[in-house]
């Protein structure tokens, strides 16, 4: 057990500030820990006699044959429940998840998709708790995200749910934001309902659960109002229905609609149709950054078109 681990667990709960640190020397017993009492004015460190025998080892670890006694002693003297410290040591993953929850939870529906995986990566990298939701199993989502990004995202929590039929209330409850990357590709089956009704239902569920922010990935007006509208009628109608629900449930100040045109690249093995001649694609990273800005509240309203997205 490394003594620095104990310090890191004690400080958030007790408010104590480390001074010169634990007093120990190679091969000697450790019986005192220097701490500073909390308060606006701090004077000299207070020496606490632990009454326990510990000795340091050459690899920098502490030889503590009676760990429970040590933790109990620390807790009793620093006013931190021993059970909480022991639980944190026994369940480090739970402690890490709790720390992320304090910063905020963002639910990314469609989080195992091309854009969603990059959104997951940015949010997790910034210390947020990320919940990826898809109809696929958690294991399948994790594998797909790994194939898209080239590396796994171990800090992301994967949940299986169907946004078109399942009760989403419990899943969305307590989230700081919901991101929808849900949609059916142009020409796909049920593309109107897959882009419209599903996202209408999702926006309504997020609003009912009290989620304060909502982000939706739509399509650029440059495409929606161009010749593509004659070929992609149901696809574009579904996108418009989804945007209408976001506006109704959240308004422009508590939501962000990101409207990319053509996104460069795609998931491994997936071939996407090219965009209109002369239309430069936007990078998926730029789209993901815009989405994250909406989830965190630094951008609201609408970001329309590849040039606007690239400028974020």
Distant-in-sequence, close-in-space partners of 273: CB < 8 Å, separation ≥ 6:
186, 187
Which pLDDT does position 17 carry in this prediction? 36
Contact 37, 25 (CB under 8 A): no
Least confident of 6-15, 118-127, 164-173, 273-282: 6-15
- The backbone torsions φ and ψ at residue 216, rounded to the nearest 5 degrees and listed phi first, read -125, 135
The average confidence (pLDDT) of the chain is 78
Q: Inform me whether the pLDDT recorded for 114 exceeds 90.
A: yes
What confidence category does residue 228 fall into, taking pLDDT thresholds of 50, 70 and 90?
confident
Q: Inform me whether the pLDDT recorded for 95 exceeds 70.
A: no
Q: Which residue has the higher pLDDT, 280 or 71?
A: 280
Take residue 274 and report the two structure tokens written for it: 């090219």
Q: Answer yes or no: pTM beyond 0.75.
A: no
Which pLDDT does position 101 carry in this prediction? 60
Which pLDDT does position 103 carry in this prediction? 87
Polymer length in residues for the chain: 312
What confidence category does residue 310 fall into, taking pLDDT thresholds of 50, 70 and 90?
very high
Q: What is the spatial distance between Cα 134 and Cα 108, in angstroms, rounded to a whole number?
A: 9
Q: What is the spatial distance between Cα 118 and Cα 124, in angstroms, rounded to a whole number?
A: 10
Q: Inform me whether the pLDDT recorded for 257 exceeds 80.
A: yes
Give 160-185 pLDDT, tens digit per residue. Answer: 999 999 999 999 999 999 999 999 98
Average pLDDT over residues 272-283: 83
Q: Inform me whether the pLDDT recorded for 9 exceeds 80.
A: no
User: Strand order in 17-18's β-sheet?
Assistant: 17-18, 32-36, 46-49
Which pLDDT does position 269 carry in this prediction? 84
Q: Inform me whether the pLDDT recorded for 24 exceeds 50.
A: no
String of DSSP letters for 124-177: HHTT-EEEEEESS-HHHHHHHHHHHHSS--TTEEEEE--TTTS--HHHHTT-SE
Which pLDDT does position 21 carry in this prediction? 41
Average pLDDT over residues 195-200: 97
Q: Inform me whether the pLDDT recorded for 63 exceeds 80.
A: no
Q: Which of 304, 192, 177 is nearest to 241 (CA)?
A: 192
């Amino acid at each position: 057990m490394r003594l620095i681990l104990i310090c890191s667990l004690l400080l958030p709960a007790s408010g104590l500030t480390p001074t010169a640190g634990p007093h120990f020397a190679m091969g000697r017993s450790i019986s005192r820990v220097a701490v500073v009492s909390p308060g606006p004015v701090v004077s000299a460190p207070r020496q606490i006699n632990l009454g326990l025998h510990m000795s340091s080892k050459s690899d920098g670890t502490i030889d503590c044959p009676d760990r429970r006694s040590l933790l109990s002693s620390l807790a009793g003297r620093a006013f931190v429940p021993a059970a909480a410290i022991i639980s944190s040591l026994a369940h480090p993953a739970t402690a890490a998840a709790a720390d992320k929850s304090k910063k905020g939870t963002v639910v990314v529906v469609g989080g195992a998709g091309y854009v969603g995986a990059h959104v997951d990566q940015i949010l997790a990298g910034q210390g947020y708790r990320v919940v990826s939701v898809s109809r696929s199993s958690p294991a399948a989502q994790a594998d797909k995200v790994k194939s898209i990004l080239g590396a796994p995202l171990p800090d992301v929590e994967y949940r299986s749910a169907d946004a078109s039929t399942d009760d989403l209330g419990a899943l969305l409850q307590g989230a700081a934001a919901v991101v929808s990357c849900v949609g059916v590709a142009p020409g796909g089956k049920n593309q109107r309902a897959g882009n419209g009704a599903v996202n209408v239902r999702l926006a309504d569920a997020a609003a009912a659960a009290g989620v304060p922010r909502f982000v939706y990935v739509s399509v650029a007006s440059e495409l929606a109002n161009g010749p593509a509208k004659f070929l992609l009628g149901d696809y574009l109608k579904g996108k418009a229905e989804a945007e209408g629900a976001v506006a109704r449930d959240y308004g422009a100040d508590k939501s962000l609609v990101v409207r990319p045109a053509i996104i460069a690249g795609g998931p491994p093995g997936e071939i996407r149709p090219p965009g209109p001649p002369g239309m430069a694609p936007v990078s998926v990273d730029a789209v993901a950054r815009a989405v994250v800005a909406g989830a965190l509240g630094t951008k609201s309203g609408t970001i329309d078109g590849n040039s606007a997205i690239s400028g974020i």
